[in-house]
Chain A
Amino acid sequence: MKDMDDQIPRTLPIQSATFSNPINAEIRRAAATGIYDIRGGGAKRKVPHFDDLLFLGASVSRYPLEGYRERCDTSVTLGTRFAKKPIELDIPITIAGMSFGALSGPAKEALGRGASAAGTSTTTGDGGMTPEERGHSTKLVYQYLPSRYGMNPNDLRKADAIEIVVGQGAKPGGGGMLLGQKISDRVAEMRTLPKGIDQRSACRHPDWTGPDDLEIKILELREITDWQVPIYVKVGATRPYYDTALAVKAGADVVVMDGMQGGTAATQDVFIEHVGLPTLSCIRPAVQALQDLGVHREVQLVISGGIRTGADVAKALALGADAVAIGTAALVALGDNDPKWESEYQKLGTTTGAYDDWHEGQDPAGITTQDPELAARLDPVDAGRRLRNYLKVMTLEAQTIARACGHNHLHNLEPEDLCALTMEAAAMARVPLAGTSWYPGKEGF
């Protein structure tokens, strides 16, 4: 009888797509601890992204520019609407806001060094401006956040631009928390709070509510800074058309739109994965709002959230953005999640490429930490050089694509240069599905 049983074909074990191993592991972890998972980074789920778009390149109707010979400009000026001193950048790739506190001092210095060497700007983050960061950044954007940690008029006037942060893509509508283990003496002093306690970053500004108030807040900041520097408004992507329109109405020089793949130092995983819009889906509505108000290119649009390559840059610009901002990619360029630290990632229960407990302050790469020994692992000069190289490569890649499409400036890329590989991407980017002249929502197919 047993021999017969062995001969009966068996049903293969089938893993549930709904109750997958990662889901079940999270249920067990939640049941054991009673607390949700907190992590850094952005959305890890697969969402329609720039990979779902392709450039068409030159053809009979379009001729390309010669690589290595014919010029393809990359410069961009941000803040041309009201500021006396707009920011002029050599490349349309900026460094997004990341705080001293979330990041180590050497990491912030490296970001400034790399950005400056590549001819672009970097951004402070929550917790204020450090002298090292200002000193190593040719162009520094000062974030004006709900917490107002470290905010003071002297630093405000040292900034090359001010970015009013309404939200970020990883957690639109959410604040932040810097856990006590990352609160060194210096971080505590900058934030006017005791060392070692969790520091809550508020989810909304303490002294304004809504677009009408924002307009007055922008007026105040301009009056304090003599209308010298551009004022950006950064929003997490949720209602990109209306948020862009309201930011313009409130007087923004630049709108920064951050999609859900954009990273954060720490927040609940459920927030990161289930709130907000994919970056790809928010560009065209934001551009539409600018066009409807007659200010496209006068009010610049910066897109962030999952930008990794020159192709991503070119695609964002082709859809109408003026520039992009990178955060996670910049950290990877510095050395975050580098395989050389694999044995230490294993000790932390993770692996290269998956390490995201940035809030715990144990980063083997010495980037998302305030531990002096770990932070010393990052040489800001070498790391800054790596970031510069990476920014240069992204720029070269974007130029390569633009020349192939026949454009002598990255800003001449346009939606007509693109097609989509999926229906979802076609609908979001409003470019034709590959091989067709149609996208969902377009009449007349």
Chain B
Amino acid sequence: MMGIILGVASLVGMSALVKGMENGMREAMQAIGGIEKVSVIQQELPPNQSHLSDQVVGITMSDVEALKKNATLTKLITPEMNLGRGGVVSRGKKVFRPWNISGTWPNALDMNVHKIEHGRMFNEIDDDLARNVCVIGTEVRDQLFGTFEETGKDIIPIGEEININGQLFTIIGMFTRYESEKQKKEREYQLANPSPERLGPERRTGWGRGGPGGFAFMLKNSTIYMPLNTMWLKFRASAGTNNIPDPTLSTLNIRISSVEELEAALQQARNVMMSTHFAMEDFTFRTQENWDENIRAQVNNYRWSGGIIAAISLIVGGIGIMNIMFASITERIREIGVRKAVGATTFAIFIQILIESIVVAIIGGILGVFVSYGLVELLKILIPTDNEPVITLWAVVVSFCFSVLVGLMAGIQPAIKAAKLDPIEALRYD
């Protein structure tokens, strides 16, 4: 019985842990836009077109317009121009190189799953007038204005001016702080339980934290957005030819309406762009399918390895039930004899013992499900900084059914033994 309880509890608990891990992994993917987001990126011409390489136009606003008009399976289109790693921001004496300084459209908020916490996003008018306004991530704030830990307060730098590559920009909005559940829990845990002060010289102690996918949030926090036209006119002017700023987009992100239509949507977008690129295939698509598959594969691996180990403990529990049933029928040989004498068939006795065994397993299974909730609560206390384990109904149902199955299997042998008893011998037994 105990074995069944613990077996079911460990099966449910294990699957809850894996589910928590899966949630953690999916979080990062959602944070960068989910699997529906596809990036159109530039690539070398294929070998058979390489003689045309001086005619390629790259990905430009004309692609954006064409896709907007013709690619019906595409829900959202966001052009982006980046400063790349050359971008430097400064304020007073503080200097910082953000991961990403982009000129984009206001709908980038939607595309890249950004959320404004303070101030506002720039709008179409800001874009039309190419205003020097920007929206920053919390990491930029931390670096230029000081972190919460340093200053003891949450600085909201709306209206402040910062210097981006020599141009003054007004901060009109700030994103919320992006972090995984795990990072958030770690940070809260750190706040509640500050680590003891280290002795000796100041040093960096590692590569940060947050587990797999944590980098996605780090990069996202280290972002500055400005209107696309501002970027184009203020920073691309020197790079262009023929007196106009370089019109090439760094990235073009599209969002398709559903994953099921991925293939069709990509084909459609490709057709449209082949026309604007005069059949020169100097672009390709980057999806998150691999990432998604990796998560699936990893979760599957954990689920199976953990599941098999937990299942073994359930089977051990089943052997326990088998022993209980053997002991029980030895105690009740006389009862079985009496039942046979008053007309119980072999089959009736077999079924009776089998049902008793299953009932034991069912009770064990139910208790096991309760214990598993306790187990998960315990895990939450023991590992407060990890992804929260999540009990799914599916796991509960599967574990419970498995425990019933184990009870059935465990009951068969004792039931056969009981059914085979000779009524005369059984009645004589003391």
* Real binding pair: no
**Which A residues have a C-beta under 8 Å from some C-beta of B?**
none
**Which B residues have a C-beta under 8 Å from some C-beta of A?**
none
